[in-house]
A = this chain, B = another copy of it.
Amino acid sequence: MSDTPYPFLRNCWYTAGWDYEVIDGKKLARTFLEKPVVIFRGESGQYVALDDRCCHRGAPLSLGRIEGDCLRCMYHGMKYDAAGICIEIPGQDMISAQHRVHSYPIEERGHLLWIWMGDPELADPGLIHDFSYLSDPEWAGLTQQAYLHYDANWLLIVDNLADFSHLAFVHTDTLGGSEDYAFSTEQEVERLEDGFQFVRWDKGSPPPPYHVRACPDAPDKVDRRNEVKMLVPGIFFMETSFAPVGWDPDSGDLEGVRQYKNCQYMTPETRRTTHFFWEYLRNYKQDDPNVSLSLRDGMMAGFMEDKILIEEQQKYLELDEPFQPRGLVADKALSHFRKVWNKKVAEENEKYPREQVEIRNPIL
């Protein structure tokens, strides 16, 4: 895939990490859209994201040393400020304007770090898709916000989340439950300009295993309602209710209803690998650590089922052998998302052509 045109949207906010990844002076080396970045928190509390390659000879700044809100390369001692400008070169007085690295806009929202990989001039923090429940004390999360690394293109994960019929087969013993779920198609996909949304009901069915483990007192039959939204560039929100059979969500009656708020974020690391961040929130028994543990383990079991399958799928799609995918009716959401995505990438590449590089590593 490395010979395909650059397949990423640059001018949007991507999730970059959880705030706990840069506590205690840690420097986080992480690659986004095939660019290596170092993220740290300066001594003033400011988050800083810089190109991880020192402008001198490409040494990793993530092996460097934080000094105030600056980062010193520990190869020859060049010191960069938070804007990426070199402000000291040991043994040299003159510093040119070219002695600098790119500084990426970075913001924190609800413990989640967001990075802007495109033109910093365009980085409007108002465009961040904040999931406000992440900082809402009414909603309790897992024991630690979660991360998985995928050996797969991020769009395969979007595909996965775009069709919930897979819960019936992939997640029978974890997130899904009965296989009947795949045959009930009471779901209307709404196409959005920057994604899609749908509500999927499963009425009068046994609740799925993960929920029963967290709530042993759950009734035998429930109405399950998933309200799903997926947005460019890989942002997934879901509100889930397990309610008494016959429940009317518009009634405002939450007697006997258990609710969850789930966010999942897919940030491309490379064309074939993805960072996957997620949190799973509840508004009941917020102080019971065993419920947090149970939900974490239950969700993780389900996500690992996806990961195994999707990583195999990635390998199979990369084979040097013909493959012609055949569409299903259930592909409506994923097809729309890919159409939206391809259009946005094409528009951006036309409007902001990418720097052409003849010699990539002139000192090798």
What residues of chain A have their CB less than 8 Å away from a CB belonging to chain B? 1-2, 34-36, 52-53, 55-60, 63, 72-78, 89-92, 94, 96, 98-99, 153, 155-156, 159, 163, 165-166, 168-170, 179, 182-185, 271, 308-309, 312-314, 316-330, 338, 355, 357, 360-364
Q: Which of A72, A91, A185 has the most CB of B within 10 A?
A: A91
Question: Is B58 touching A313 in the complex (CB atoms < 8 A)?
Answer: yes
With A55-B325, A58-B323, A76-B182 given, name 20 new contacts (CB 8 A).
Answer: A1-B361, A34-B321, A52-B316, A53-B316, A56-B326, A74-B169, A75-B166, A77-B182, A89-B328, A90-B168, A90-B179, A91-B185, A92-B328, A153-B364, A271-B364, A317-B364, A321-B360, A322-B355, A324-B362, A325-B363
Question: Is A323 touching B53 in the complex (CB atoms < 8 A)?
Answer: yes
Can you name 20 A-B residue pairings with CB atoms under 8 Å?
A34-B321, A36-B316, A55-B325, A57-B156, A57-B159, A59-B309, A77-B165, A77-B182, A78-B328, A89-B329, A91-B183, A92-B328, A94-B329, A99-B326, A156-B363, A156-B364, A318-B364, A320-B360, A322-B355, A323-B361
- List residues of chain B with CB within 8 A of the CB of A357: 321-322
A65–chain B nearest beta-carbon distance, Å: 8
- Alpha-carbon distance A285/B322, docked complex (angstroms): 51
Question: Is B360 touching A323 in the complex (CB atoms < 8 A)?
Answer: yes
Known: A316-B58, A317-B361. A326 touches B53 (CB 8 A): no
Question: Is A328 touching B75 in the complex (CB atoms < 8 A)?
Answer: no
- List residues of chain B with CB within 8 A of the CB of A99: 326
- Alpha-carbon distance A90/B166, docked complex (angstroms): 10
Question: Is A90 touching B165 in the complex (CB atoms < 8 A)?
Answer: yes
Q: Is the interface of A mostly helix, strand, loop or mixed?
A: loop
Known: A90-B165, A184-B91, A330-B91. A35 touches B77 (CB 8 A): no
A314's nearest neighbour on chain B, judged by CB, is B364
- List residues of chain B with CB within 8 A of the CB of A73: 169
A62–chain B nearest beta-carbon distance, Å: 9
Question: Is A312 touching B60 in the complex (CB atoms < 8 A)?
Answer: yes
- Alpha-carbon distance A322/B101, docked complex (angstroms): 12
- List residues of chain B with CB within 8 A of the CB of A56: 325-328
A78's nearest neighbour on chain B, judged by CB, is B328
Question: Is B364 touching A98 in the complex (CB atoms < 8 A)?
Answer: no
- List residues of chain B with CB within 8 A of the CB of A338: 363
Question: Is A91 touching B326 in the complex (CB atoms < 8 A)?
Answer: no
A340–chain B nearest beta-carbon distance, Å: 15
A237–chain B nearest beta-carbon distance, Å: 23
Question: Is B163 touching A76 in the complex (CB atoms < 8 A)?
Answer: yes
Q: Which of A94, A184, A322, A357 has the most CB of B within 10 A?
A: A322
Question: Is B312 touching A59 in the complex (CB atoms < 8 A)?
Answer: yes
